[in-house]
């Protein structure tokens, strides 16, 4: 079955009671049982909910995964996954992951005895030097935010597996439409469904997809034991969102390419970061590993003053954090998403004060280009 067909049909069976074509929002906390020890497979809604199960089947199918689990946020999905790592074990973390992921390691997990090192996962030779005898996991994000650096997922998986470590990939930026890490050898895929999967900027959620039965059993156990489940209503929203994932991602990609090309030619722009540009240092890897380039584009305006002028002059693009919604969003990484990263580390990552990030939406491309043009001039 093709991707768009799966997006619409996987998990979306007509409701057995009424025939409702849309999976209903089962807004219930508990279920009537037929007798002692006799029930319909549903006991309590933290443990099982039909709306959530439908979404779990749907996104698992899109990632070509055997198992899927929906969580209350991307961060709770990441936290549940890291409960596969025990005190005294070591994780190699990409040096430019989502800020919340770094914070979870730095401020929470380290207090529970989980060791971690930061590494540039785009450089396999340097990554290799970070392995220790107790390394259990390599955690990567590709492309990274906001500099759009790629990690070769097949190469990292091969290296990590030869060292007895698992690979986890946060696939939020690409969505399963453009990149399917499990097919490349990755063990566990994570999502903030808040972004492209839901796609309409009206729900916060997270997802874990994987093939290994034993790890899946543990993630399912944690989901129930800790309880950071996605609500029935949010499950319904994300299930509605994924039905149009294919058409939305194609539109984000089309507009993303146009915005990147426009900015690359613009005299007021010093540098553009977009894997779809032939000038991107990993353009070849992007073409091999992804089936599209998506809608995330960053560009350097040269100074904080220039960035401020652009960010405060846009009319169509909305100034705000987050990404992946139908509407174009514009942000300033140095003072917004990456404000907690020390200035020196920001500089090393290329996150200058003049850097601006756009989550290109699916409005008419001409309107987005006109807005950026007037803001730049």
Ligand X SMILES: *Cc1c(COP(=O)(O)O)cnc(C)c1O
- Sheet of 355-359: strand order equals 271-273, 296-300, 355-359, 329-331, 318-319
Q: Is 103 a catalytic residue?
A: no
Q: Six-digit token pair at 31?
A: 């279920």
Provide the CB-side half-sphere exposure for 219 (13 A, CA).
26
Q: Which is nearer to ligand X, 192 or 298 (CB)?
A: 192
Q: Is 183 a catalytic residue?
A: no
- Interaction with ligand X in 96-125: which residues (CB under 6 A)? 98, 100
From 170, 187, 353, 371, active-site residue: 170
Residue nearest ligand X, Cβ-based: 74
Q: Is 195 in the site for ligand X (CB under 6 A)?
A: yes
- The span from the CA of 22 to the CA of 101, in Å, is 34
From 98, 177, 196, 274, active-site residue: 98
Q: Supply the minimum distance, in Å, between the C-beta of residue 189 and ligand X.
A: 12
Q: Supply the minimum distance, in Å, between the C-beta of residue 206 and ligand X.
A: 5
Q: Supply the minimum distance, in Å, between the C-beta of residue 30 and ligand X.
A: 27
- Interaction with ligand X in 79-98: which residues (CB under 6 A)? 98
Q: Is 194 in the site for ligand X (CB under 6 A)?
A: yes
Q: Is 202 a catalytic residue?
A: no
- Sheet of 67-71: strand order equals 67-71, 206-210, 188-192, 166-170, 135-141, 90-94, 115-119
Longest Cα pair distance anywhere in the chain, in angstroms? Answer: 74
Cβ contact 259:251 at 8 Å: no
Q: Is 180 a catalytic residue?
A: no
Question: How far lies 261's CA from each of 26, 81, 284, in Å?
Answer: 46, 38, 17
Q: Is 73 in the site for ligand X (CB under 6 A)?
A: yes
278: which DSSP letter? T
Interface region with ligand X, contact rule CB under 6 A, candidates 85-93, 151-159, 190-198, 242-250:
190-198
Please give the size of the binding site for ligand X, defined by CB under 6 A.
13
Interface region with ligand X, contact rule CB under 6 A, candidates 45-53, 189-197, 259-267, 295-303:
189-197
- The span from the CA of 223 to the CA of 201, in Å, is 24
DSSP 209-262: EE--HHHHHHHHHHHHHH--BPPHHHHHHHHHHHTTHHHHHHHHHHHHHHHHHH
Q: Is 220 in the site for ligand X (CB under 6 A)?
A: no
Q: Is 293 in the site for ligand X (CB under 6 A)?
A: no
Phi and psi at residue 228, to the nearest 5°: -85, 60
Q: Is 372 in the site for ligand X (CB under 6 A)?
A: no
Interface region with ligand X, contact rule CB under 6 A, candidates 47-55, 58-66, 67-75, 260-268:
67-75
Interface region with ligand X, contact rule CB under 6 A, candidates 34-42, 192-200, 210-218, 255-263:
192-200
Show which residues are catalytic.
46, 98, 170, 195
What residues line the site for ligand X (CB under 6 A)? 73-75, 98, 100, 141, 170, 172, 192, 194-195, 204, 206
């Amino acid at each position: 079955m093709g991707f768009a067909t799966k997006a619409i049909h996987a998990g979306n069976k007509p409701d057995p009671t009424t025939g409702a074509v849309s999976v209903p929002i089962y807004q219930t906390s508990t279920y009537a049982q037929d007798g002692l020890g006799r029930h319909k497979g549903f006991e309590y809604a933290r443990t099982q909910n039909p709306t959530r199960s439908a979404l779990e089947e749907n996104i698992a199918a899109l990632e070509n995964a055997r198992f899927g689990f929906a969580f209350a946020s991307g961060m709770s999905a990441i936290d549940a996954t890291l409960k596969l790592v025990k005190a005294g074990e070591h994780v190699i973390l990409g040096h430019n992951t989502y800020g919340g992921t770094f914070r979870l390691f730095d401020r929470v997990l380290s207090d529970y005895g989980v060791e971690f090192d930061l590494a540039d996962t785009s450089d396999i030779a340097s990554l290799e030097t970070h392995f220790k005898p107790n390394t259990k996991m390599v955690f990567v994000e590709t492309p990274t935010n906001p500099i759009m650096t790629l990690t070769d997922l097949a190469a990292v998986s091969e290296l990590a597996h030869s060292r007895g470590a698992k690979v986890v990939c946060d696939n939020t930026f690409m969505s399963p439409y453009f990149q399917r890490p499990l097919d490349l050898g990755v063990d566990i895929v994570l999502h903030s469904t808040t972004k492209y999967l839901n796609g309409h900027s009206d729900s916060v959620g997270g997802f874990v997809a994987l093939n290994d039965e034993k790890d899946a059993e543990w993630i399912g156990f944690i989901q129930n034991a800790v309880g950071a489940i996605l609500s029935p209503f949010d499950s319904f929203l994300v299930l509605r969102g994924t039905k149009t994932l294919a058409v939305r991602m194609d539109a984000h990609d089309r507009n993303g390419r146009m915005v990147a090309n426009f900015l690359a030619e613009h005299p007021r722009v010093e540098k553009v970061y977009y894997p779809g540009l032939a000038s991107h240092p990993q353009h070849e890897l992007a073409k091999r590993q992804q089936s599209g380039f998506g809608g995330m584009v960053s560009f350097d305006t040269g100074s904080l003053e220039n960035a401020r002028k652009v960010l405060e002059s846009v009319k169509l693009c909305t100034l705000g954090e987050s990404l992946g919604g139908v509407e174009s969003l514009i942000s300033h990484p140095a003072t917004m998403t990456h404000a907690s990263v020390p200035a020196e580390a920001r500089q090393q990552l290329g996150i200058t004060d003049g850097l601006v990030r756009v989550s290109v939406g699916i409005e008419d491309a001409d309107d987005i280009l006109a807005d950026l043009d007037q803001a730049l001039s």
